[in-house]
Structure 1
Amino acid sequence: MSIRRKAIALMATIALPLAPAVAAPARKAAAPATATVPADAPRLIVAIAVDQFSADLFAQYRRHYTGGLARLATGGVFPSGYQSHAATETCPGHSTILTGMRPAHTGIIANTWIDQSVARGKKAVYCAEDETQAAADPKDYVASVAHLLVPTLGERMKQRWPASRNVAVSGKDRGALMMGGHTIDQVYWWKGKGFATLEGRTLSPQAEAENASLAEVLKQGAPAMPLPEWCAGLDRAISVGTSEASGFTVGTGRFALAPGDAGAFRASPRLDRATIDLATELVDSLKLGKGAVPDILSVSLSATDYIGHATGTEGAEMCIQMQQLDLALGDFFTALDQRGIDYAVVLTADHGGFDLPERLNQQGLPQAQRAAKALLPEKLSEAIAPVLGLDAKGLVLSDGAFGDYWVNRALAPADKARVVAAVKQQLATNPQVAAVFSADELAAAPMPTGSPETWSLLQRARASFYAPRSGDFVVLLNRGVVPIVNPSPGGVATHGSAWDYDRRVPMLFWRRGMTGFEQPSAVETVDIAPSLAALIGLNVPDGTFDGRCLDLDAGPGTTCGAKP
């Protein structure tokens, strides 16, 4: 497909087919390794994470899907998958999907954490950065997967079958890196106005061409997208704003793209289209799924998350996104079909999401509210410092109004313990706080077992706790409290809580010819990696994963048995 045609496809108000199959270079397979691959194993695993695609969104829009999501709903459907931990953010969630391990073991406890030992002014460390590398601008960090402590499925496949390809593409660096892992053949993510890759690598011709076509889209702009008829009831302006910020509205957007507005491109269905377009081109250029051993392609689609943060989950904007996501996935699967690839798909999410309280208040949830300033680290410091006779400046540190908090490391251990105790006492009567757990309490708690929907708040927090990085205490907010103190354009709603609207996500498995079924009981995203490993005959020792293999055979057979 020409650059011009791709640009038009991304600007159009209807979905167009993805690029047709093109010739790819011959690929050499490692002959000795092929004997260990079962004859019936798929030759390509397609692992898709839809950022902020909650089980609630899947259920709400399921009857309207006609494309890729409709196809996946004919396979193995687990509508109650759980990102079972409390830190329901993008980086921790992506780290579970293809490692089969919870954040307590992946080491990815949050999108950012405080490391008071780093030799720079900014002590917040991003989950996908190399903080040892200096940057002229704090936002211009060096992307890295070094913080991930365990291998991904793609890495395990390459270790077993060196000819296997491990490829990842995403709208976010943390999505691509946490799914791909440390050993990735090609990896790309959206950055600024085009796709980027790891420092020291060059963009492939396919990524360069995609960036060129997207530059044309950004230069020209694009028209608004149509509102599906079944979205009409959601087309209503919602006023947002506080005394600290001028008011604005959400709820009626159509994703018109002004020339040069890269931010609007990112927070629109066009980002997912571009990500899928590049993924398809990588299938061709690397000849994925055509070798003697299985390959894996990780695709993390970020637009749902950007749109959810900017406009919430219940407006016309999200309704348009759900339609466009479904159509884009349908075109992607059709493109794979046209290439004659034997592929298996899993689709899930890194976390769910919660709508903005201003709209929830109008829709039967008057208790929905924004977190109070009193939960910010500087306010907590000011409240307890006089009582303890300590300096309030830098006493308590955090990256927001919930989650992990750290106490100034310069304090003596006894004083640190006093601070934690004082915070717990301070927040014991706060109506927005559900629980406060110290690091000592979390370290002493056993790793949770059993069905994740029955876990206590302590168990949910334990699944996110990794002592070398986690805070000195963690604050879990009550249900319905949105941890955005002051909303602003682009940031009106979020996720990150320990509640099921953020923890529960769909898990959909599909392969041509499989018998479809639906299992409504709770499962975990850490079950995905062992299930896929068994499907391709990648046997691993017991105890390798936190999760378990899910049997994807609806009949008396099993996909979890030993492979020949």
Structure 2
Amino acid sequence: MTFSGAANAEDHIAADEASPKLVVAISVDQLSADLFAEYRNSFTGGLKRLASGVVFPSGYQSHAATETCPGHSTIMTGVHSGRAGIIANNWIDLSIKRDDKTVYCAEDERIEGTSFGDITAATQGDYVASSWHLLVPTLGERLKKVSPKSRNVAVAGKDRSALMMGGKDVDEIYWWKGNGFTTLVGRGMSSSMTALNKNIGETINKARPAYAVPAHCEARNAKIAHGDDKSVGDYAFQRPDGAAQIFRGSPDFDAAVLTAATTLVNDHKLGQGEATDILSISLAATDYIGHAFGTAGLEMCIQMSALDQSIGDFFNVLDSQNIDYVVMLTADHGGLDLPERMQLQGVPMAQRVDSELNAKTIGAAVAKQLNLDSEKPVLHADGPFGDYYISLDLSEGQRAAVKKSAMALIAAHPQVEMVLDHDEILATEISREAPEQWTMLQRARASFHPDRSGDFVVLLKKAITPIATTARGYVATHGSPWDYDRRVPMLFWREGIRHFEQPLSVMTVDIAPTLGALIGVDIPAEETDGKCLDLDGGPANSCE
């Protein structure tokens, strides 16, 4: 297997013959390193093929804000999420004109009349999906500058995933919305994608039988009760008539996204032209299943088996077209199982977050303590952890007093690990040490942006699930600075690659420089937080 790198457009032309014709970058939303390790021996399809390539089982989304948007922003840019400008899925901007001050990472809130709204609501607000918050170029954008004939294409189960991996300069970009795929405002849907939506629409509301339970999943078939007389752990994704809403939280969803990827490969003959193309794919079913059912039950076991087969089917399509492709697979973050099951499985301290630990309740207590107007909120946040913002309606002295009081109240809560001040985070240098050795402050720094991050940042203790109630259907989640949310696998495969496994830690910011070296795109050292990983496994060096 030959690898080659190139530093500029002229070198890129010389490297064309050695470069793969298609880069397939796959993110499996919420595929933790723990999940990969747990199910690795059961894989027989696409994930088994990837495990036969170059395996970095201890990759890191090294930042503290381990959510979908920040994680996807690191994969194809080579920079930490804070440097990319993506500090969280949502943040607060008290300076914007609209009443709704919550900003979604993949919206353009500058457009009048738009509002992101409540992400848990069916409508998810009325926003315009956009990648304008992403402050740095993706690998696909860089490739197009040195190789104008290259195509940069992205498809995903979520808009934020496609937009963060594709970037601003994309030839085609699609994501799931409602009951089908959509694209950027002002762009038309291709006839093939329109036909795919029609086919999905004809089946999505129809009943389907339960998935077969693989033999290795039988031991996980155990009902676990949680709030409101509900349970998880014994469900095989059968769908009754009229239940399209179940679709996203089943293995069928990933299969649909990979069918869309196949459609794009066929439509544009990706990997079959003169230049290298990039296809970014993000598969979201693992994340939806993790949220709805947890990570350690029958549902996730079935999902891992189905995901393995669906990815394998997609690879078979590429093989049948004799495409020379390289694959990278990783995840945007990990995840943690629901606390009710964890308590039965050796983690007695696992618990749900206190419902009183939120900006509204804490803010009211602070306002009362300081004799401030209780009618106006003094504290704003998108959830119990992460970025907290102090009202701009207060004087500087009042803001300082609110900050001091709120930080003290929150830090004293038994479920809180620490509260970090904005200026303290800003003064911290980005660490160049191994990511497992980073302090909490260094982890917070990696997902920090001075103009978007909060006045202070709240980090919860280990095994605290930041969901107070399961009434809305979420039983488990991610977003912590702990390694169960930070550690993800990083896998590379190309026909003829020499298999090896490197157990030492690497980071997802290493992916873009590594892939760039294979296709002749040099990312200057000052423009990346990562490094190129040598994939050759022999005396040659794929980074040179």
Please classify the TM superposition score into its range, dividing by the shorter chain length.
over 0.9
Deviation, 1:539, is 2.1
**Quick one: which amino acid aligns to residue 226 of structure 1?**
A
Q: How far apart are the structure 2 equivalents of 1:508 and 1:106?
A: 23
Deviation, 1:247, is 2.3
Aligned pairs for 1:325-404 (under 5 A) are 325-392=307-374, 393-404=376-387
Query: Contact 1:312/1:356 (CA < 8 Å) preserved in 2?
Result: yes
SS at 1:375 equivalent: coil
Q: How far apart are the structure 2 equivalents of 1:453 and 1:250?
A: 32
2:96 counterpart (102, 106, 118): 118
Aligned pairs for 1:1-20 (under 5 A) are none
Deviation, 1:424, is 2.2
Instruction: Say whether 1:478 aligns with 2:461.
Output: yes
Give the equivalent residue in structure 2 for 1:197.
Answer: 183
1:182 counterpart (146, 154, 168): 168
Give the equivalent residue in structure 2 for 1:314.
Answer: 296
Q: How far apart are the structure 1 equivalents of 2:134 and 2:382?
A: 20
Give the equivalent residue in structure 1 for 2:397.
Answer: 414
**Quick one: which amino acid aligns to residue 482 of structure 1?**
T
**Quick one: which amino acid aligns to residue 174 of structure 1?**
R
Unaligned stretches of 5+ in structure 1? Answer: 1-30
Give the equivalent residue in structure 2 for 1:528.
Answer: 511
Q: How far apart are the structure 2 equivalents of 1:526 and 1:36?
A: 27
SS at 1:530 equivalent: helix
**Quick one: which amino acid aligns to residue 243 of structure 2?**
D
**1:405-434 deviations in Å (ceiling 9; x for gaps):** 100012222322222211222133321111
Give the equivalent residue in structure 2 for 1:454.
Answer: 437
Q: How far apart are the structure 2 equivalents of 1:283 and 1:441?
A: 47
Instruction: Say whether 1:82 aligns with 2:60.
Output: yes
Higher mean displacement: 251-260 or 134-143:
134-143
Query: Contact 2:98/2:115 (CA < 8 Å) preserved in 1?
Result: no
**1:99-153 deviations in Å (ceiling 9; x for gaps):** 0010121000000000112222211010001112224884121111110000000
Query: Contact 1:148/1:181 (CA < 8 Å) preserved in 2?
Result: yes
1:34/1:404 CA distance change after superposition, 3 Å: closer
Query: Contact 1:310/1:489 (CA < 8 Å) preserved in 2?
Result: no
Q: How far apart are the structure 2 equivalents of 1:553 and 1:527?
A: 15
**Quick one: which amino acid aligns to residue 344 of structure 2?**
Q
**1:213-261 deviations in Å (ceiling 9; x for gaps):** 10111242211111111111111111111xxxx3211111111122232
1:152 counterpart (131, 138, 148): 138
2:73 counterpart (82, 86, 95): 95
Query: Contact 1:100/1:546 (CA < 8 Å) preserved in 2?
Result: yes
Deviation, 1:33, is 8.9
**1:16-70 deviations in Å (ceiling 9; x for gaps):** xxxxxxxxxxxxxxx9896243421101000000000000000000000000000
**Quick one: which amino acid aligns to residue 184 of structure 1?**
V
Query: Contact 1:401/1:485 (CA < 8 Å) preserved in 2?
Result: no
Query: Contact 1:34/1:293 (CA < 8 Å) preserved in 2?
Result: no
**Quick one: which amino acid aligns to residue 320 of structure 2?**
Q
Query: Contact 2:22/2:277 (CA < 8 Å) preserved in 1?
Result: yes
The two structures, once aligned, show a CA RMSD in angstroms of 1.4
Query: Contact 2:65/2:447 (CA < 8 Å) preserved in 1?
Result: yes
Q: How far apart are the structure 2 equivalents of 1:200 and 1:141?
A: 14
1:50 counterpart (28, 32, 46): 28
**1:312-349 deviations in Å (ceiling 9; x for gaps):** 00111000000000000111111111110000000000
Give the equivalent residue in structure 1 for 2:254.
Answer: 272
SS at 2:423 equivalent: helix
Q: How far apart are the structure 2 equivalents of 1:35 and 1:449?
A: 33
**Quick one: which amino acid aligns to residue 57 of structure 2?**
P
**Quick one: which amino acid aligns to residue 218 of structure 1?**
I
Give the equivalent residue in structure 2 for 1:59.
Answer: 37
Instruction: Say whether 1:500 aligns with 2:483.
Output: yes
Query: Contact 1:82/1:523 (CA < 8 Å) preserved in 2?
Result: yes
1:136/1:471 CA distance change after superposition, 3 Å: closer
Query: Contact 1:41/1:535 (CA < 8 Å) preserved in 2?
Result: yes
Q: How far apart are the structure 2 equivalents of 1:222 and 1:267?
A: 14
Q: How far apart are the structure 2 equivalents of 1:80 and 1:33?
A: 33
Q: How far apart are the structure 2 equivalents of 1:32 and 1:137?
A: 45
Query: Contact 1:206/1:278 (CA < 8 Å) preserved in 2?
Result: no
**Quick one: which amino acid aligns to residue 311 of structure 1?**
F
Q: How far apart are the structure 2 equivalents of 1:372 and 1:379?
A: 11
Q: How far apart are the structure 1 equivalents of 2:427 and 2:371?
A: 30
**1:442-497 deviations in Å (ceiling 9; x for gaps):** 11111122100000000000111101110000000000001001112531100000
Query: Contact 2:69/2:89 (CA < 8 Å) preserved in 1?
Result: yes
SS at 1:71 equivalent: helix
Name the TM-score, length of structure 1 as normaliser: 0.92
1:514/1:430 CA distance change after superposition, 3 Å: same
Higher mean displacement: 414-423 or 469-478:
414-423
**1:178-230 deviations in Å (ceiling 9; x for gaps):** 00000110101010000010001111112111111101112422111111111
Give the equivalent residue in structure 2 for 1:210.
Answer: 196
Give the equivalent residue in structure 2 for 1:10.
Answer: none
Q: How far apart are the structure 2 equivalents of 1:432 and 1:136?
A: 32
Higher mean displacement: 147-156 or 387-396:
387-396
Q: Which runs of 4+ in 1 moved over 6 A?
A: 31-34
Q: How far apart are the structure 2 equivalents of 1:540 and 1:428?
A: 41
Q: How far apart are the structure 1 equivalents of 2:521 and 2:427?
A: 34
**1:515-562 deviations in Å (ceiling 9; x for gaps):** 01000101000000000000111123232211000000101110001x
Q: How far apart are the structure 2 equivalents of 1:148 and 1:531?
A: 21
Higher mean displacement: 216-225 or 163-172:
216-225
**Quick one: which amino acid aligns to residue 356 of structure 2?**
A
1:69 counterpart (47, 55, 66): 47
Q: How far apart are the structure 2 equivalents of 1:158 and 1:255?
A: 41
Query: Contact 2:293/2:476 (CA < 8 Å) preserved in 1?
Result: yes
SS at 1:374 equivalent: coil
1:418/1:58 CA distance change after superposition, 3 Å: same
Instruction: Say whether 1:236 aligns with 2:212.
Output: no
Q: How far apart are the structure 2 equivalents of 1:207 and 1:428?
A: 50
Higher mean displacement: 469-478 or 438-447:
438-447
1:165 counterpart (151, 167, 190): 151
**Quick one: which amino acid aligns to residue 125 of structure 1?**
V
Instruction: Say whether 1:143 aligns with 2:143.
Output: no
Unaligned stretches of 5+ in structure 2? Answer: 1-8, 118-124
SS at 2:525 equivalent: coil
